[in-house]
């Protein structure tokens, strides 16, 4: 979580599409997660207070937007 109350997915590799564009972005750059304020508070509360780590279980597409299924787990 950044200081501005935003969540980012770090260390994930997204392969660029072969025919999408001539510019190839960095496939392992940090990705901003689009969440509501209440969802961010719920996820960060368990991570900060109880010492959990947030782990993305799956990443999929729904109506043109990437979605993640996340779980909090003990280190």
List CB contacts of 32: < 8 A, sequence separation 6 or more: 6, 7, 8, 9
pTM: 0.61
Q: Tokens 């996340």: give the residue.
A: 70
Does residue 45 belong to any structural domain of this protein?
yes
Q: Domain span at residue 41?
A: 7-74
- Plot region of 52 (φ>0 → left; ψ -120 to 50 → alpha; else → beta): beta
Query: Which two three-digit tokens encode residue 55?
Result: 């782990």
Beta bridge partners, 31, equal 9
Asked, for residue 2, whether it belongs to a domain, the answer is no
Task: Please count the structural domains in the chain.
Answer: 1
Q: Which residues pair with 74 in a beta bridge?
A: 52
- Per-residue pLDDT for the chain (75 aa), expressed as one digit of tens each? 566 788 888 888 887 777 766 777 788 888 888 888 888 888 788 777 777 888 888 888 888 777 888 887 776
């Amino acid at each position: 979580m950044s200081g501005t109350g935003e969540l980012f997915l770090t260390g994930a590799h997204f392969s660029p599409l072969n025919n999408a564009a001539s510019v190839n972005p960095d496939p392992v750059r940090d990705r901003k997660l689009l969440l509501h304020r209440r969802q961010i508070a719920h996820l960060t509360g368990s991570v900060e207070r109880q010492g959990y780590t947030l782990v993305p279980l799956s990443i999929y597409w729904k109506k043109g937007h990437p979605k993640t299924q996340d779980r909090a787990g003990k280190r």
